């Protein structure tokens, strides 16, 4: 059975920031593709929360690579997946 997914306020802001960045700097299609891929990965996380690797720096946190520039950080319990942040490594390291 799939777990419910809850987005933190920060994760919601991250999604908005990344979506805006993609639409303004690439295209509306890039934004839509990102949102579709994100939705697909969140569904997979909800179905198999332990599938993705545990963080080496933060206890209890897992990392799902969405694409080569974006990582989803989340915590999973028996009842819930909480998405903590969605980090765009290309922009965060610039």
Domains of the chain: 4-92 (3.30.2310.20)
Reply yes or no on whether the pLDDT at 91 is more than 80. Answer: no
Q: Tell me the β-bridge partners of 82.
A: 6, 75
Handedness of CA 9, 16, 6, 42 (dihedral sign): negative
pLDDT at 76: 96
pLDDT at 1: 80
pTM of the complete model: 0.91
CA atoms within 13 A on the CB side of 23: 10
pLDDT at 80: 97
Reply yes or no on whether the pLDDT at 92 is more than 70. Answer: no
pLDDT tens digits, 22-77:
999 999 999 999 999 999 999 999 999 999 999 999 999 999 999 999 999 999 99
């Amino acid at each position: 059975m799939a777990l419910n997914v809850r987005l933190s306020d920060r994760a919601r802001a991250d999604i908005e920031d990344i979506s805006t960045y993609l639409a303004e700097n690439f295209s509306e299609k890039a934004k839509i593709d990102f949102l579709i891929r994100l939705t697909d990965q969140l569904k997979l996380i909800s179905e198999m929360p332990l599938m993705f690797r545990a963080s080496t720096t933060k206890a209890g946190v897992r990392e799902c690579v969405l694409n080569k520039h974006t990582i989803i950080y989340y915590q999973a319990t028996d009842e819930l997946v909480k998405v903590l942040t969605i980090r765009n490594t290309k922009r965060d390291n610039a």
